[in-house]
């Protein structure tokens, strides 16, 4: 095979050969955690079937898939649960389509995942954005405080649904009990984006789940923190019988008619595993993460906040996610990430100018945790500074709804010429990962000044390409 024929395969093979320490998704970390997983090894192609006779149908399950999904629902205490083969992304879109019609308003944190914006566009709904807090001492995004949620729910007009993220990408969770209960009182439907929290149910040391308070819909990605294969996910439903039909129909609308039975089998294996060993697996991950946190704080120049930190800011925290602040010790997160990868064969989940981010599950080992502590302890403390987070104090003016933007022609123009134009794509600087501009919003001189400064200082700025930004016609 020539190198240029298969750039992806070559890189994957090289990665596997290196056998790196993985502090990133997926949660299985490339290992067989229990013997049943081996069923899916060997010639994977032999298992690659879909809805042939006798194998049921994910779009109208009446046999093996119906039973398998029932087992999942009973494990999580849901009225019903659905397997997904296109990630939590598809569950979030289908959930939004179940509660929102054209013109309805939906409450969402400004830092929601891209799938939420996709849901807003496809349902032609109107987003009401809640701006999350930021921590300027660590240079990270926090979340929307519960008081802000409650007043937005109580004061909002024509709000039909809300979408709360539990946890966000940094592991931070708002008080979903308050949010769900207030929403129920106001007859607003709750969708919980729990893509990163499928393990919450299995340990008392972790934040509560949307399922604990019977949110109408909770969407989870077991591939992130548990054991299923990438792209597999599930959706738990706790609404009324009529709504159950609607969600089923909406899932069908956006799901392939050839769902991968390999992905579905990996979900079923995860359920079997979790029923028997879920608590043990998740507890192990939590303990390893605490070991890593203690070690990093004690033996390295870096700071890794924990539950008490999040509590002091008014949030719950998923301790199995680690934010390691490096910039206050004189190193950008991007630099530390590169050293870990190149010199120590350790892969992180993500890095930005201020921090590196690690995900730890029960599939990691104590040896791997000791490895990263040792690697990080080789850095010497220097004079550092936290890179300021790129945020604006107030929301931009909205000219068009997000879906209207997608009905118009667009062009990329130099950022400096863009004041007065309407933004097409989300523009998101990292840190902190909160959009400065979203589709349909008016670009001003202040936006351009901020974005130019961030780009000049090497911030990752999604939505800006070669100093250009996508805009649509104003008229
Ligand atoms: C907060 C959040 N929600 C939803 C998703 C989508 O999950 P999936 O990758 O399973 O589609 C992600 C993906 O990273 C995410 O970070």
What are the tens digits of pLDDT across the range 233-286?
999 999 988 899 999 999 999 999 999 999 999 999 999 999 999 999 999 999
Q: How confident is the model at residue 330, as a pLDDT?
A: 97
Q: Kindly state whether residues 236 and 369 are assigned to the same domain.
A: no
Segment 405-415, tens digit of pLDDT:
999 999 999 99
- Return the residue whose CA atom lies nearest to atom 10 of ligand 1: 87
| Confidence class for position 198, pLDDT limits 50, 70, 90 | very high
| 234 and 367, same domain (yes or no) | no
Ligand 1 mutation pick, 24, 89, 168, 267, max ligand atoms within 8 A of CB: 89
What share of the chain has pLDDT > 70, as a percent? 99
Structure confidence at residue 280 (pLDDT): 97
What is the whole-number distance in angstroms between the Cα of residue 408 and the centre of ligand 1? 28
pLDDT at 1: 59
Average pLDDT, stretch 13-21?
96
Other C-beta atoms closer than 10 Å to the C-beta of 330 total: 15
Q: Which domain holds residue 413?
A: 402-472
Q: Report the separation in Å between the CA atom of 88 and the middle of ligand 1, taken as the mean of its atom positions.
A: 6
Q: Which of 287, 326, 284 is nearest to 305 (CA)?
A: 326
CATH number for the domain harbouring residue 16: 3.90.1150.150
pLDDT tens, residue by residue, 125-182: 999 999 999 998 898 999 999 999 999 999 988 999 999 999 999 999 999 999 999 9
Q: For 99-106, what is the mean pLDDT?
A: 96
Kindly give the distance from the C-alpha atom of residue 165 to the centroid of ligand 1, in angstroms, as a whole number: 10
Q: Using a 6 Å CB cutoff, which residues line ligand 1?
A: 87-89, 113, 115, 165, 169, 193, 195-196, 221, 233
In a domain, 353, yes or no: yes
Residue 2 pLDDT > 70: no
Helical (H) or strand (E) element with 324: strand 321-325
Task: Dump pLDDT digits (tens) for 356-405.
Answer: 999 999 999 999 999 999 999 999 999 999 988 867 778 999 999 999 99
Q: How far away, in angstroms, is 171 Cα from ligand 1 center?
A: 13
Considering the chain, what is the average pLDDT of its residues? 95
Asked if 59 and 172 sit in the same domain, the reply is yes
- Classify residue 39: in a domain, yes or no: no
Cβ-contact 112, 193 below 8 angstroms: yes
Q: Residue 394 falls within a domain, yes or no? A: no
Q: Is the model's pLDDT at 5 over the cut of 80? A: yes
pLDDT tops 80 at residue 461: yes
* C-alpha distances in Å from residue 163, one per residue of 295, 369, 466: 36, 34, 33
Q: Are residues 410 and 466 in the same domain?
A: yes
Task: Say if 366 falls within a structural domain.
Answer: yes
Ligand 1 pocket mutation, candidates 221, 224, 435, criterion most atoms within 8 A of CB: 221
Pocket test for ligand 1, best of 27, 85, 86, 87 (most atoms within 8 A of CB): 87
Q: Do residue 260 and residue 292 come from a single domain?
A: no
Q: Are residues 170 and 289 in the same domain?
A: no
Q: How far apart are CA 388 and CA 432, in angstroms?
A: 9
Instruction: Compute, in angstroms, the gap from residue 3 CA to the centroid of ligand 1.
Output: 32
* pLDDT for residue 107 is more than 70: yes
Q: Kindly give the distance from the C-alpha atom of residue 9 to the centroid of ligand 1, in angstroms, as a whole number.
A: 24
Query: Whole-angstrom Cα distance, residue 100 to residue 96?
Result: 6
Q: Which atom of ligand 1 is nearest to the CA of 92?
A: 4
Pocket test for ligand 1, best of 24, 95, 113, 435 (most atoms within 8 A of CB): 113
76, 226 contact by CB (below 8 A): no
Q: In this structure, is residue 60 part of a structural domain?
A: yes
pLDDT of 301 over the 90 cut = yes
43, 35 contact by CB (below 8 A): no
pLDDT band at residue 40, thresholds of 50, 70 and 90?
confident
Asked whether the beta carbons of 317 and 174 are under 8 A apart, the reply is: no
Distance of CA 394 to the CA centre of its chain: 25
Residue 38 lies in a domain: no
Q: How far apart are the first and last CA of the chain?
A: 53
Total domains in the fold of the chain: 3
Residues 221 and 79 grouped into a single domain: yes
Position 243 in a domain = yes
For residue 193, give the ligand 1 atom closest to its CA: 3
Q: Identify whether 435 is part of a domain.
A: yes
- 99 and 241 in a common domain: yes
Cβ-proximal residues to 340 (8 Å cutoff; 6+ apart), any chain:
346, 347, 348, 356, 372, 375, 376
When pLDDT is averaged across residues 86-111 and rounded to a whole number, the result is 97
């Amino acid at each position: 095979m020539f190198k240029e024929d298969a750039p992806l395969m070559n890189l994957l093979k090289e990665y596997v050969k290196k056998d790196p320490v993985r502090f990133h998704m997926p949660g299985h970390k490339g290992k067989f955690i229990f013997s049943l997983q081996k069923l899916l090894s060997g010639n994977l192609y032999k298992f690659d079937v879909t809805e042939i006779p006798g194998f049921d149908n994910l779009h109208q399950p009446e046999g093996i898939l119906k039973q398998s999904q029932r087992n999942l629902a009973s494990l999580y205490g849901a009225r019903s649960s659905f397997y997904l083969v296109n990630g939590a992304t598809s569950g979030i879109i289908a959930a939004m389509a179940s509660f929102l019609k054209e013109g309805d308003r939906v409450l969402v944190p400004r830092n929601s995942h891209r799938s939420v914006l996709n849901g807003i566009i496809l349902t032609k709904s109107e987003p009401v954005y809640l701006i999350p807090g930021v921590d300027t001492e660590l240079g990270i995004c926090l979340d929307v405080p519960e008081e802000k949620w409650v007043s937005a729910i109580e004061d909002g007009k024509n709000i039909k649904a809300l979408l709360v993220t539990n946890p966000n990408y940094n592991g931070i969770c708002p008080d979903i009990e308050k949010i769900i209960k207030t929403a129920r009182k106001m007859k607003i439907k709750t969708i919980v984006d729990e893509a990163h929290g499928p393990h919450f149910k299995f340990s008392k040391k972790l934040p509560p789940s949307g399922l604990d308070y019977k949110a109408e819909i909770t969407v989870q990605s077991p591939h992130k923190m548990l054991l299923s294969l990438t792209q597999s996910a599930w959706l738990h439903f706790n609404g009324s019988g009529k709504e159950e039909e609607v969600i089923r129909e909406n899932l069908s609308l956006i799901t392939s008619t050839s769902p991968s039975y390999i992905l579905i089998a990996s979900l079923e294996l995860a359920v079997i595993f979790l029923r028997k060993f879920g608590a043990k697996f998740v507890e192990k991950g939590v303990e390893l993460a605490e070991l890593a946190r203690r070690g990093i704080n004690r033996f390295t120049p870096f700071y890794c906040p924990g539950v008490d930190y999040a509590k002091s800011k008014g949030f719950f925290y998923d301790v199995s996610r680690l934010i390691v602040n490096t910039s206050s010790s004189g190193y950008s997160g991007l630099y530390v990430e590169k050293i870990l990868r190149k010199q120590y064969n350790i892969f992180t989940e993500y890095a930005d100018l201020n921090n590196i981010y690690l995900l730890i599950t029960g599939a990691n080992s104590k040896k791997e945790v000791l490895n990263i502590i040792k690697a990080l302890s080789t850095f010497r403390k220097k004079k550092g500074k936290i890179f300021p987070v790129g945020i604006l104090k107030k929301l931009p003016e909205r000219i068009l709804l997000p879906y209207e933007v997608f009905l118009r022609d667009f062009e990329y123009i130099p950022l400096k010429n863009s004041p007065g134009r309407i933004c097409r794509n989300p523009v998101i600087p990292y840190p902190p990962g909160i959009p400065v501009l979203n589709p349909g919003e008016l670009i001003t001189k202040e936006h351009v000044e901020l974005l130019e400064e961030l780009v000049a200082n090497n911030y990752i700025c999604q939505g800006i390409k070669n100093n250009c930004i996508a805009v649509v016609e104003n008229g």
